[in-house]
Structure 1
Amino acid sequence: MTPTCENPYAAGAAYLDGRYMPVGEARIPVTDWGYRRSDVTYDVVGVWDGAFFRLDDHLRRFRRSMEALHMRPAESDAEIRAVLERIVALSGLRRAYVAMDCLRGAPPPGALRHPAFGRAYLSCYAVPWVSVASEEMATRGMHLMIPKVRRIPPESFDPRVKNFHWGDLTEGMFEARDAGADFAILLDGEGHVTEGAGFNVFSVTGGVVATPARGALEGVTRLSVMELCAELGLPLEVRDIPAEEFRAADEIFACTTAGGIMPAARIDGRIMGNDRPGPISTRLRDRFWQKRAEGWHATPVDYAAHAAVAEGGAG
């Protein structure tokens, strides 16, 4: 969808440092530390069929991340919630990828060059739905690999705080591309599985579902998988998963806000099952979307309340 005279927000809407605008107009200063030092935390919530999924969980995690990085923007949680609803409503999107970022600005002239003097502010936007895996990958199952690059250790930076420190994940993505795989799953320094670029992972061995205990983001969709395992009576273990166990698993699947549950079919060239998504992964994926359609953890967007487009794009 492209902007029109009727709705300049049709391609997406943004909120930047207190102002609303079409997403294409959102800019941050190149001198801000959010840009120069990746001094940013963020979260992403999905809108599907006109409703947020687990909005409160995302807002709580966003606030925890901001507190961990000593960031205190002017907006309260309730105000951030209202901002997110408004940018979705302004866009009119029924299925949207909705990001909330908190950036640190540069210290003002004369202040000490220390992050304590950099003002924290919000940048939020809603754009058409984005999925990590393509339709082809979703049908055939993702092809994964374990790269040489290792995940940044938790002792250096807590992976439970969402961040833009993607140097290791980006290198893994290039290694996967060179190997003819779709995505890379990084190991920690001890050779245990952590996560991929923007998604958590699970393995299934002998009917038991397992997910890494450390070294990865505590994903909101990961939490949903845990709830589904309990509902479906599937044994679940949260523990260290050695690389060789992961490579030998009966099934592997990933999960993320931008795509839900995404089964894999291959790992390091090894074909799992019949080279298609496995039965437990498929059962979890199907139940996930069935419950989403039933309104599970849904917060409907009040489009009517924001029907009037802000004149000139200003809030």
Structure 2
Amino acid sequence: MSRIAYVNGRLVPHRNARIHIEDRGNQFADAVYEVWGVRDGALMDFEGHLTRLARSLGELHIRPPMSDAALSAVVSRMVEINHIRNGLIYLQISRGQARRDHVFPPANTRPGIMITAKALNAQKAEARAQKGIAVITRPDIRWGRRDIKSVSLLPNVLAKQAAAEAGAGECWLVDPDGFVTEASSSNAWIVTKDDVLVTRAASQDILNGITRRTLFALAENAGLKTEERAFTVAEAQSAREAFVTSASAFVTPVVEIDGKPVGNGHPGSFSLQLRATYVATAKERARKPVRRQSVWLVAPRGERLVN
């Protein structure tokens, strides 16, 4: 079956999905996004992503296009109609379509919304985690509000491309003081020789990942020590283990940083156990779409139901 996208209240074939040339997400990156992982047909960490979406919209003063209940229905429907067993749901909300002007458009401008679904090979992802990834480091040149999940991702794109060209799986970003902030599309962690899980404290310097938050709760339940603090590249290279977390990577071990092996150069027991525990817990708590007899969607406020 062809992929189906949701664009401003309508279901359309993915290949035909379009937005207006003056959508502010297109011209100003005046938009936010969220990504849900899907495992065994269920949305992982659903409420956490919904809460962070609301925060990002609030920080940028973008009006929500619909209620949480309606949005939940649409996202769940996208999993079902695209037959996503394992994959990702991507959602983007912009300030809307208006004549190009740096100043916000009128308050009654309707926000733009689009949602796409993508299937992923779960076995391939698991094999990648079992092997571990290499990372490189680059200076962090992003804007100062990284806590907002905005679509202003050009520095992230450049960092990820640098990693790809170096044959690495991810790029860790480093602040002017030499401390790791996070990766191009994930949060960065180390495990110290004293078995303490360390990651950068949540602030405007990083995106407070939903998988990151869940991992703190799992670590606490397991009696593991955690610290939210900055760490240097050198400390990471000499750590017992390192890994990254995100909605798509879950918990993925890092086995090499800038050409130097981490630990024995293989995924560590902490990282692999945390991954297994996260996946099991997230699947248990995941939100499964409710199947319905007819095709339906809830469109943005002011529009009729789409059948």
| TM, length-normalised to structure 1 | 0.85
Secondary structure in 1 aligned to 2:174? coil
For 1:15-30, what aligned pairs fall within 5 Å after superposition?
Answer: 15-30=6-21
Q: Which residue of 2 aligns with 1:7?
A: none
What CA deviation, in whole Å up to 9, does each residue of 1:15-61 have, x standing for no partner?
Answer: 21111223222111122221111111000112211221121111111
Answer yes or no: is the 8 Å Cα contact 1:146–1:186 preserved in 2: yes
Aligned equivalent of 1:83, options 68, 74, 80:
74
CA–CA distance in structure 2, aligned partners of residues 73 and 106 of structure 1:
14
CA pair 89-176 structure 1, distance change in 2 beyond 3 A: closer
Answer yes or no: is the 8 Å Cα contact 1:251–1:272 preserved in 2: yes
Answer yes or no: is the 8 Å Cα contact 1:152–1:188 preserved in 2: no
Answer yes or no: is the 8 Å Cα contact 1:151–1:189 preserved in 2: no
Q: Which residue of 2 aligns with 1:266?
A: 256
Aligned equivalent of 2:140, options 126, 144, 150:
150
Answer yes or no: is the 8 Å Cα contact 2:242–2:254 preserved in 1: yes
What CA deviation, in whole Å up to 9, does each residue of 1:41-100 have, x standing for no partner?
Answer: 000112211221121111111011111111113301111111111222222222231111
Aligned equivalent of 1:308, options 283, 294, 304:
294
The question of 1:299 aligning with 2:287 is answered yes
CA pair 302-286 structure 1, distance change in 2 beyond 3 A: same
Secondary structure in 1 aligned to 2:182? coil
Partner AA of 1:256 in structure 2: S
Q: Which runs of 5+ in 2 are unaligned?
A: 297-305
Q: Which runs of 5+ in 1 are unaligned?
A: 4-10
Q: Which residue of 2 aligns with 1:280?
A: 270
What CA deviation, in whole Å up to 9, does each residue of 1:220-250 have, x standing for no partner?
Answer: 1001111111122111001122232222222
Give the drift of 1:182. Answer: 2.3
Secondary structure in 2 aligned to 1:230? helix
For 1:110-259, what aligned pairs fall within 5 Å after superposition?
Answer: 114-117=103-106, 119-129=110-120, 134=125, 137-147=128-138, 149-154=139-144, 158-206=145-193, 207-213=195-201, 214=203, 215-259=205-249
Answer yes or no: is the 8 Å Cα contact 2:190–2:241 preserved in 1: yes
Give the drift of 1:300. Answer: 1.4
Give the drift of 1:135. Answer: 5.3
Answer yes or no: is the 8 Å Cα contact 1:73–1:122 preserved in 2: no
Question: C-alpha root-mean-square deviation of aligned residues, in Å?
Answer: 2.3
